[in-house]
Amino acid sequence: MKKILANDGIDEMGKSILEKAGFTVITEKVAQENLVNRINEEKYIGLTVRSATKVRRDIIDNCPGLKLIGRGGVGMDNIDVEYAREKGIIVANTPAASSVSVAELVMAHLFSMVRFLYDSNRKMPLEGDTNFAELKKKFAEGSEVSGKTIGIIGFGRIGQTVAKYALGLGMNVKAYDPFVKSASIKITFFNNQSIDLQIETVSLEDLLKESDFITLHVPGGEIITKKEFALMKPGAGIINTARGGAINENDLIEALNSKKVAYAALDVFENEPMPKKELLTHPRISLTPHIGAATNEAQERIGIELAEKIIEALKQ
């Protein structure tokens, strides 16, 4: 029997595809500390995770029957990928499935920042009936995004999808990626007409100096620190839907408090699932709880792509 443990869940479509291919798919959540025992007891040959479950050396070393680790999503920083592959375990992810969902969240945060929606939605329920005029005055100094420059750090699938939305809004796009020199961005309209625009990447320094808004789409590493904040335009905004730690959080708080940075948006945090209180309570941060790929459409695409990769990898 070919058994798969989908420890962080899997979309019903993906589960159905696997079952039709002869796999037994279990979606019961197993606590991290019990994973090794359960994988061995139930003779699972595949383990799929999202961002919650960690697949480190203890699991890789102590589960000799495990043949595949699947990550429903893009980043695999919660998996010891190279070590697993050295041990002969197949590691697969779904890099194409969530690009639209993450990019749309970036744009939602962008609009939230420039019109202070994140703060207005906190204040209106508390003061809207008693302090309407003052709130109207407080939130009346928003900005338009059209004509502004957005800097995209990391110009892979998600970064390029963000560029499509930004270009459609009339924004100027600057992109930085050490592995991408240029990209052709195809903008498709509702009637299937389209245009192609070529974006040449620039240096990180130029991007930081010239961008009104900056969004990160990197696999990991600390990209933005005090040094990078110093290079930014006064009053810039920054968005991180990529990885916790890509922005040094202490330096971000300092930049916000000094007003070097006007506002920030965070979907990911260094200490998930317990982000710093200073971030959660900061009056100029738009917040979401790591939901970049959490749309119904993306979850279905992730499930299908993951199922297809598992079937191909474990076919006999």
Burial class of residue 26 (count of CB atoms within 10 Å of its CB; 0-12, 13-18, 19+): middle
Question: Tokens 């994973």 sit at which residue?
Answer: 35
What percentage of the chain's residues is helix, strand, coil (to nearest 5)?
Answer: 40, 20, 40
Bridge pairing between strands 182-188 and 194-200: antiparallel
Catalytic residue among 71, 217, 290, 301: 290
Q: Strand locations in 147-290, DSSP E? A: 149-153, 172-176, 182-188, 194-200, 213-216, 236-240, 261-266, 285-287
Active site residue 243: yes
Tokens representing 17 are 């595809």
Nearest Cα neighbor of 245 from 219, 265, 211 is: 219
Instruction: Please tell me whether residue 187 adopts helix, strand or coil conformation.
Output: strand
Active site residue 290: yes
Instruction: Identify the helix (H) or strand (E) that includes residue 37.
Output: helix 35-42
Q: Which amino acid is at 32?
A: Q
Catalytic residue among 243, 249, 301, 305: 243
Active site residue 109: no
Q: What are phi and psi of 266, to 5 degrees?
A: -130, 125
Nearest Cα neighbor of 113 from 287, 254, 245 is: 287
Catalytic residue among 28, 127, 205, 272: 272
Pairwise CA distance, residues 72 & 95, whole Å: 9
Pairwise CA distance, residues 275 & 50, whole Å: 19
Pairwise CA distance, residues 24 & 14, whole Å: 12
Rounded to 10 degrees, the C-alpha dihedral 121/123/129/132 comes to -100
Bridge pairing between strands 68-71 and 90-93: parallel
Residue 273, preceding peptide bond in cis (omega within 30° of 0): yes
Which positions are annotated as active-site residues? 243, 272, 290
